[in-house]
Structure 1
Amino acid sequence: MFKRVPSFLRHVGPGVVAGAADDDPSGIATYTQAGAQFGTGLLWTVFLSLPFMIAIQLVSARIGRVTGKGVAANLREHTPRAFLMTMVLLLVIANTINIAADIAAMGEALQLVVGGPQHFHSMAFGVITVLLQVFVPYRKLAPILKWLTLFLFAYVIAVFLVKVPWGQVLYDLVIPKLQWTSGYWMMIVALLGTTISPYLFFWQASQEVEELRLKGKGQGSDAEIRNDLRRVKQDTYIGMFFSNIVAFFIMVLGAVVLYAAGIRDVTSAAQAAQALRPLAGEFAFALFAGGIIATGMLAVPVLASSAAYAVAEAFGWPEGLERHWFEAKRFYAIIILATLVGTGLDFTPIDPMKALYWSAVINGVVAVPIMVGLMLLAGKKSVMGNFTSGFKTRLFGWGGVGVMGFAVLMMFWDVVRQLWR
């Protein structure tokens, strides 16, 4: 087993970390809420989104590897400045709310396990994640993030500790139960916004740039790029499959435990863990609560640094987690500000978990124009040279734009329809 450790660290890359970060505490809360509110009726969304998620993350990673620049840096060169700044601003707002929700959930989960004041735990997690990003260089931070991905298996194990009607699960996975209500479509937009998240586009592209810097070389020859793109493809496929399988099991757990018990409203991942305690047992509770803390430690750095990459690239500032803090002061200032503001929201009357739902909706809405920009960049020879996206990637990438756009339009249409009644 231990002989395989270096192999694991070598082959797991930004794609797997991005996929795991997608299942953060706020994502866990959204998936659990979907299961608690609609039972197994929304399981189909997990696998509907998978090919589109793979395509858009693959496009993001390819752009980073081929151009040697992140998403925002490429958008700055090829899109109107007003468009870029609007997207970056909305990304930073959504990420900060996400950070607040994740840190609150981590503090609450630790309180459930060991006791003590929740706010103290939250503040400690906020400070720890800031110190990790500012003082641990990328070459040492990356392996930590990779190992934290393994904690997501806790949610797979937890499902097998309860009785699951697999026949019903498989039926609802294949046969969607559509409802024409605003709550239903808003949940779909929230699920898609949680699964196909703009911050992951920025993160994975920027980490491919970090990998290039770590190797101390530029983009390299066509042969080197082609070899790296094979690794990028494998890494992204594994990461996105892993992410969606975990999301599937979390939604199943919410459906067969909470929905079946008549619990319809779950406002946080920690509340979900607490609700599971009397229904699924202490071990399932411990797995769920421990997973919240571990995935939060993985996701908060990804959220904060993706916001910092977006802002720094948009303004042309020096950026990168491999740089020392004094080489990229404004980049690290964004990381510190986003994390501390997110932590600070937990000390205000604002309910971070209610705000989280709307941040997921914002992510779903914002993802559409960003995905359009990415797909246009990926098809330009002036940007990608000989490595423009292939037919399948373009098909599913634009398909993802269509699915996300349709869900958003349905949500807005139903909201307008309700207002006119």
Structure 2
Amino acid sequence: MLAEVLGCFAGRFGRVEPRRAAGQFVTGLLSELEVKTCWQLAEQAGHARPDAMQRLLYRAVWDADAVRDDLRQLIVGRFGAADAVLAVDETGDLKKGIHTVGVQRQYTGTAGRIENSQVGVFLGYAGADGHTLIDRRVYLPASWTDDRDRCQAAGVPDDIEFATKPELAAEMITAALKAGVPAGWVAADEAYGNSATFRAGLREQEIGYVLAVSRSHLVPLDGGKTRIRADRVAADLPASAWQRRSAGAGSKGPRFYDWAWLDDVCTDADPDDGGRHSLLIRKNTTTGELAFYRCWTPRPATLAQIVRVAGIRWSIEESFQAAKSQVGLDQHQVRRWDSWHRFTTLALAALAVLAICAADIADQDHADNGLIKLTVNEIRRLINACIIHPISDLAHRLHWSGWRRRHQARARRAHYTRRLNLELQP
């Protein structure tokens, strides 16, 4: 599978050197390296210097978007289904300084608070028997797009303008559908569900959605004549309105919740679009905590279908966890626009290896042998035990130890010199 994933985009490299480096890069991301930057990946690959890996991310000639398209086609060929779900969400990486593309003090769910961070919006694909990430966009705050000199220094193309996170998500969904990705649904959290423009764009493309909204979201009733907070709607529901259903299997068994479905409501926008608007409410059976969803389908749907999509949204959270813990999605040390897209695309390729292997093994292993199915974590361990053989040559390791310390010493001298010069200026 590693060879198949690398082979699907090998033709995007005009020269053998970057093609070979890309294969070593993805293999290194799957390795057991604790930190997966160009230095560590180069040492893992047996290089004497990090130049080839750095050149791959910065100066080499290749199109990261074209590689993404090839990778997406491979994933869809394995997981594709007419009722597949496109899930969108964002994730942040904590950063220092101000020069890394898109970085500023902003809220990130990674830290749960406002931090100096970089945020990326991602598109996940959950199909017949597996899920993974298929697209990515770096979020540029207005503080960046309003400062064209800053953008130019980070390599941001001149035609890139400010776009909200829902707008970036809509771009990725539109691109996927235009590329022929089979999907029947979109799922997202309330940062996207609260956007009327985002919901309208999905209806124009006639794709169903189950989008979380905030408890204070105003629900239009009676054709939009009345607007009531979502939590007030839930408070007025009788006990008979709730049904207990599973949102899918979790690590500890079926995820049961109580659900209330108000069919044919929320019709303030485009009431004649030919689809069915509804409000879905989920209640935690233990804590009583409520969650709310605006739903739309181009044709009649059942509660079971709506609940399934609501549950599948969590697949993108699982993909984020696997991408960060297994293939170093958040470990890049790049500052420029192209470099971020290149590193992230290669990380998605490494993640696809794990996701497809897990699905293939699950399809083949139907025996009740007292073992759980192989997880992406365990598959990566087996890849390292059986395929990736770390270089143990002592001379190679000592060379890299000396190279790192020498480079760090030069960098420290440069920083000290700059700091002293700034202190001596009048």
Q: TM-score, normalised by structure 2?
A: 0.23
More strand by share: 2
Whichever of the two has the greater Rg, that structure is 2
Q: Which has the higher helix share?
A: 1
TM-score normalised by the chain length of structure 1: 0.23
Q: Which has the higher contact order (CA 8 A, sep 6+)?
A: 1
